Structure 1
């Protein structure tokens, strides 16, 4: 990172790096509490806000608003982890959770499962404690859960100089703050954005969508941990929504499909102080995620109705009639999990699974590779389908 790469008004935040006289690091500027003039398209901001409002309205008519919760959290874990290079897909994660065996699965399936645990932990914390729960302590706890099986410090800020790039620090595309400055930067982020509340002397109030965009970019600029910063930072966005009692939209799918643009937009914030591209990308991701959530709920209900018709000839209390509804939330099962979910014998669970395989609702994976797991492929295929591009 050369000084010439940094906009003149940001150079005051450059500091020397110990032992590297020709290298400067960027101490994150104070967290902005208002968007700079011209940052983000007002039309996109309005459209994203309307899309979120439509989702809230649609959810009010859902018999079970949590029908998507389990699978969407897991899809987010897969997609956010894939941005960092993991190979686990949704089917593999669900298989691991159903069998708790990694045999035949990618080695990083455990890493993705830790993301599920960390995201769910954060959601539970902010849903019970609101914005007050969204603090540096929670961020460190989430990081520790994310990195449980990684050979890096967990839940503690880095004590070494980091840089973005694969070569020498002198050739880095970005050099974040030295370790001594991290705590102050994180406390500033906590005070001004994670726990954001409008002040009496402020003319306007940041929308919650702008808040989560700023929080993520600021966190990535601080880069407080040795590893796992991207995943931790992406978790902050749905947590801010959930802390306000809003649906926690998951944006990693859009960011993954536009990875180079995502990194470029963050770099423009970090080096040029240009927030527009990143703010607009966030709005587009919200548009996509909100629309996809409504579309997905409609499609899953349609699948459920088709399954109900296909099993209508069976007794109402049979496994064949009762299990399909649960498969929408948990599309990979074993005979043991079915027996536990429906409180039936293992024999009854196995018989019901076989009937559902005959009907075509369940499919068995290769026993030698996967273990005896059964997959509702229609659900998984729909979850893996790329959303329609919002207009």
Structure 2
């Protein structure tokens, strides 16, 4: 809770809607999807956000996850815990699974079949059996009621404890045939935002510590032993907060180093672009022109100045619709969780 308070204090100081970078939600989308075996990269995700041409289904799924965060985190801030309803769960699943070609059911619809966890496809050897289809709706109603804090948990349990318990409950219900892990992890930042806190994206920590995550879920679901999972979420929040501060420091150091690479005229397009690149390190002239309210020719002049300074690179080789990359920003955001940041010099 102290780490959450430190992050909130930083957000209040910065007045920044992304706190550090829009890319943290993109990294969350990539790692949460990766836990489920859906793989993409930060470069690929940001590229298809700039030019929605032909994209792999897996990349579209990751993009859907990121856009779901973009859509629902502001709603959580505005509505508070009343956001949590069965309809929300359905909407999250619909958005997260709309480009999953192998999904057998209609996205957003509660399962009508028996499912089990573990056992290599054989229920006789399962490690956990979620409720039968007839009981799923009632169980899910209890789960969202708990997230709405309609009982004494609002005064007797910390936010971290409620996140752990709600997550374990949701995954135990397993309301959909597939996609439950993604929806369950989407709910975590929504719970933080609904209580007025900066949402921390925990999937990078979870991916880096998957054995502890699954062991905590198993202890909670099989033995009602909550301490391992509450401890895991506590460590995840602390480590994610530290990672956020380290990322912010690295990006500020990089921004200062960029300023030494050439002289920038005051209020020039190139100088103004430097402030945007931590949020849009894969970008186009059209994107930059819209942000800066400049003409395309003026924007391109600034972009090519940044290319000459080694801040942007153009990888497509196209004569038109070029895409530019700030590779140093991508390296900072995309580094393995908890690893040191390379010196930009």
TM-score (norm 1): 0.80
> Is structure 2 residue 75 aligned with structure 1 residue 125?
yes
Q: Distance in 1 between the 2:21 and 2:327 partners?
A: 18
What is the aligned residue count? 333
RMSD: 2.1
Note the C-alpha offset of 1:366. 4.3
Q: Which residue of 2 aligns with 1:58?
A: 10
Q: Which residue of 2 aligns with 1:26?
A: none
Q: Distance in 1 between the 2:15 and 2:44 partners?
A: 29
Q: Distance in 1 between the 2:307 and 2:154 partners?
A: 61
Q: Distance in 2 between the 1:264 and 1:286 partners?
A: 18
Q: Which residue of 2 aligns with 1:188?
A: 142
Aligned 1:25-44 pairs, distance under 5 A: none
Q: Which residue of 2 aligns with 1:157?
A: 110
Q: Distance in 2 between the 1:109 and 1:348 partners?
A: 32
> Is structure 2 residue 317 aligned with structure 1 residue 363?
no
Q: Distance in 2 between the 1:148 and 1:69 partners?
A: 26
Structure 1 unaligned regions, length at least 5: 1-48
Q: Is the 8 A contact 1:51 1:290 kept in 2?
A: yes
Q: Aligned with 2:241: secondary structure? A: helix
Q: Is the 8 A contact 1:198 1:205 kept in 2?
A: no
Cα distance change, pair 54–314 in 1 and its aligned pair in 2 (3 A):
closer
Q: Which residue of 2 aligns with 1:177?
A: 131
Note the C-alpha offset of 1:378. 1.0
Cα distance change, pair 271–367 in 1 and its aligned pair in 2 (3 A):
farther
Q: Aligned with 1:230: secondary structure? A: helix
Note the C-alpha offset of 1:281. 0.8
Q: Which residue of 2 aligns with 1:286?
A: 237
Q: Which residue of 1 aligns with 2:122?
A: 168
Q: Distance in 1 between the 2:110 and 2:154 partners?
A: 35
Note the C-alpha offset of 1:72. 1.4
Cα distance change, pair 206–110 in 1 and its aligned pair in 2 (3 A):
same
Q: 1:38-84, CA deviations, whole angstroms, 9 ceiling, x for partnerless residues?
A: xxxxxxxxxxx222222222333225353435211111111111111
- Higher RCO, Cα 8 Å, sep 6+: 1
Note the C-alpha offset of 1:198. 4.8
Q: Which residue of 2 aligns with 1:98?
A: 50
> Is structure 2 residue 224 aligned with structure 1 residue 273?
yes
Note the C-alpha offset of 1:275. 1.6
Cα distance change, pair 203–132 in 1 and its aligned pair in 2 (3 A):
closer
Note the C-alpha offset of 1:286. 0.5
Q: Aligned with 1:310: secondary structure? A: coil
Cα distance change, pair 385–148 in 1 and its aligned pair in 2 (3 A):
same
Q: 1:131-165, CA deviations, whole angstroms, 9 ceiling, x for partnerless residues?
A: 11122211111111111122431111101111223
Over alpha carbons, which structure has the higher Rg? 1
Structure 2 unaligned regions, length at least 5: 340-345
Q: Distance in 1 between the 2:286 and 2:12 partners?
A: 34
Q: Distance in 2 between the 1:286 and 1:375 partners?
A: 30
Q: Which residue of 2 aligns with 1:32?
A: none
Q: Distance in 1 between the 2:256 and 2:8 partners?
A: 23
Note the C-alpha offset of 1:204. 5.7
Cα distance change, pair 306–102 in 1 and its aligned pair in 2 (3 A):
farther
Between 1:165-174 and 1:125-134, the stretch displaced more is 165-174
Note the C-alpha offset of 1:290. 1.2
Q: Distance in 2 between the 1:57 and 1:326 partners?
A: 23
Aligned 1:195-344 pairs, distance under 5 A: 195-199=148-152, 205-311=156-262, 313-344=263-294
Q: Distance in 2 between the 1:203 and 1:314 partners?
A: 52
Q: Which residue of 2 aligns with 1:353?
A: 303
Q: Distance in 1 between the 2:75 and 2:264 partners?
A: 42
Q: Is the 8 A contact 1:140 1:155 kept in 2?
A: yes
Q: Aligned with 2:22: secondary structure? A: helix
Q: 1:95-116, CA deviations, whole angstroms, 9 ceiling, x for partnerless residues?
A: 111122245xx54110001001
Q: Distance in 2 between the 1:65 and 1:306 partners?
A: 24
Between 1:209-218 and 1:377-386, the stretch displaced more is 377-386
Cα distance change, pair 198–167 in 1 and its aligned pair in 2 (3 A):
closer
